[in-house]
Amino acid sequence: MIFVSLYNQVVISCFLGKILGVSSCLPTAFVPAEALPAILRRVHRALRSAGWLLLGMVNPGVDPLAGSLARLRTALWGGALLIPTDVESMLGQAGYVDVLMLPAPPAAVAAMIAARRP
């Protein structure tokens, strides 16, 4: 059920992103951490100028048990639980600007980061 919830949230966010002009959506829960910098660079090259990227990430929340379960789920999906500040740094290194952590309630299962290609 949690997977379906996260998947639905990412799909809905990607759909809304298309409506709002986001050019690409990347659910990072299914991407190994070591592959993410190369993927971000490739997406950056593929985006048109001023194109937006929306990244969906698993939100571990503030509860230690929820955080442990989030790490387990993400590992089972083949990804890694990422720290938003690390992702923001990776986006900057890949050439993105206007990196924004989108607001979400603390109990949300997903966190979203938007970034723009200059």
Q: Is the pLDDT of residue 48 over 60?
A: yes
Rounded CA gap, 72 and 59, in Å?
12
pLDDT tens sequence across 58-117: 888 888 898 898 889 899 999 888 888 889 999 999 999 999 988 888 778 888 898 999
Cβ-in-10-Å burial (0-12, 13-18, 19+) of 39 comes to middle
Give 19 or 62, the one with higher predicted confidence. 62
Q: For residue 98, is it left (φ>0), alpha (ψ between -120 and 50) or beta? A: left
pTM for this prediction: 0.75
Note the CATH number of domain 2-116: 3.40.50.150
How do beta strands 52-58 and 22-27 pair? parallel
Backbone angles phi, psi at 17, to 5 degrees: -60, -40
- Amino acid identity at 93: Q
